[in-house]
Amino acid sequence: MKSSAKGFASITCAAILVILLTVVPMHMGMVEKLRGGNEWSMYRNNEHHTSLSDKSLEGNTTNLLWKFKAQDGVVSSISIGEDGTLYFGSWDKNFYALNPDGTLKWKIYLKDSVVSSPAIGKDGTIYVGAYKYLYALNTHGVILWKAQIGDAVLSSPVIGKDGTIYIGANSYKIGTSNGWLCAIDTNGTVKWKFNVMGNPDWSSPAIGDDGTIYIGTDYGIIYAINPDDSEKWEFQAGEDVSASPTIGEDGTIYIPCDNSVYALNKDGKVEWKFTPKDSALMDSDISLDKNGNLYGIYETSPDDNGTTTYYLFALSPKGQLLWRFAGKGEGSSSSISNDGTIVFGDSNGIVHAVKDGSEIWNFSAEKYIIATPTIGANNTIYVGDSSGYVYALHVGSANSTFNSPREEENIPWLWIGTGLGATTIIIVAAILLKKRKGKEKENIEE
């Protein structure tokens, strides 16, 4: 009897072990799918503002995984923490943190519209601009400190190799036209404020490999500032720089101004300038792919019917036009996947995916899109629109099926239920086998 109980217990333990070895890895794989890895941690992904992801977006269609509704428009681009948390601001004056499945983790009221895109430090601290301040928040949504840096902050922070946070700030004082490029320590101390002619507005600083900080202003000036607060050079590009600089692998600085895009070397000299014949305005940030090709968007002048065309264009590293894709609405800045898919939104609320000049797929949001799309793990794109929705889109093939993360949250229980069913089968089979052996033994004894 003791031997039978012992054998039965051994079979049961073995069955449970089978479940654990099968279900737990599958569940952990699902959790890892939701989490992602070390993700898009600041505006346009990195301190060079290339908006280039190391993730792929291979596929010819897209599916909506989930959407989250803020109380007002979302023009802040989304940053992603190491644990997969999504961070962004809204016109509703709140700063949000979402779980990877699109559920609210927390939100905090920052007293003014949050159009600045957050940057995440190596220790997980989240930095974002709002009203007159740069805020530092921990991963639980608690304000660690705030530093007053100007009269208004529309620019997005970028983090240097030593942890210093750089951000542009506007001045609205009567009688002055000077804004600032600000450097703030990780403890909230303002290290320095460099006066620039005009306001940075939406231009967010980018950092070169040598530590030089680049920023533009609404006076059409591009500044190169050393980490010690000294000016390296300045370049008068035109009337208004409302885009952010982008830095190539060789240190070339790319920036749109008025109706052109400039390529400047490290000394601030023009290497080349690209001006489409029909360009009237070019103010979206330049993106770079892994081969050094450039992507931007320009607007044409209205034709005789009052119609304006918007073109996504591709340039070689030397400034030659490779192709262009015509749209019907003003475009946000673009992001690029590792496989060369360019993703951007437009004023008609359409998210476009373009490769080699041809559209692969598109997705219709509720309202117009200003924010640059963010590329996450597992063929996922995150973007907000002016109605307040944040969308998670999954890219795949037309004949593939994909369940949303929310639906997948229930799958582990299905696996466990299946596992328990398997256990029952194993145990019943063991009992029947034992009874059979008992009968065989009785027949032999007879």
Average pLDDT per consecutive 10 residues, the chain (446 residues; last block may be shorter)? 47 43 41 48 98 95 98 98 97 98 98 97 97 98 98 97 97 84 98 97 97 98 98 97 97 98 98 96 97 97 91 98 93 96 97 97 97 96 98 86 44 37 41 45 40
What is the model's pLDDT at position 401? 56
DSSP string, 203-226: ---EE-TTS-EEEE-TTSEEEEE-
Per DSSP, the three-state class of 99 is coil
Whole-angstrom distance, CA of residue 383 vs CA of residue 77: 7
Whole-angstrom distance, CA of residue 301 vs CA of residue 21: 63
Closest CA to 152 of 174, 135, 136, 168: 168
User: Which residues face 131 on adjacent strands?
Assistant: none
Whole-angstrom distance, CA of residue 105 vs CA of residue 84: 12
CB 241 within 8 A of CB 255: yes
List the Cα angle 388/201/298 in 5-degree steps: 75
Residue 238: CB atoms within 10 Å: 15
Phi, then psi, of 257 in degrees rounded to 5: -155, 130
What is the model's pLDDT at position 9? 47
Q: Per residue in 159-197, is it b (16+ CB within 10 Å) or e — as a string?
A: beeeebbbbbbbbeeeeeebbbbbbbebeeeeeebbebe
What is the model's pLDDT at position 376? 97
Count of alpha carbons within 13 Å of 51, Cβ hemisphere only? 32
61-405 falls under which CATH superfamily? Answer: YVTN repeat-like/Quinoprotein amine dehydrogenase (2.130.10.10)
What is the model's pLDDT at position 419? 42
What is the model's pLDDT at position 417? 41
At 121, list the tokens. Answer: 């430090």
What is the model's pLDDT at position 403? 55
Q: Per residue in 347-373, is it b (16+ CB within 10 Å) or e — as a string?
A: bbbbbbbbbeeeebbbbebeebbbbbb
What is the model's pLDDT at position 20? 39
Closest CA to 136 of 105, 110, 168, 171: 110
Query: What is the reported pTM?
Result: 0.82
CB 117 within 8 A of CB 156: yes
**Which run of H or E residues covers position 429?**
helix 411-445
Per DSSP, the three-state class of 24 is helix
Whole-angstrom distance, CA of residue 214 vs CA of residue 264: 11
CB 327 within 8 A of CB 310: yes
What is the model's pLDDT at position 399? 64
Evaluate the CA torsion angle 100, 102, 106, 109 in order and state its sign. positive
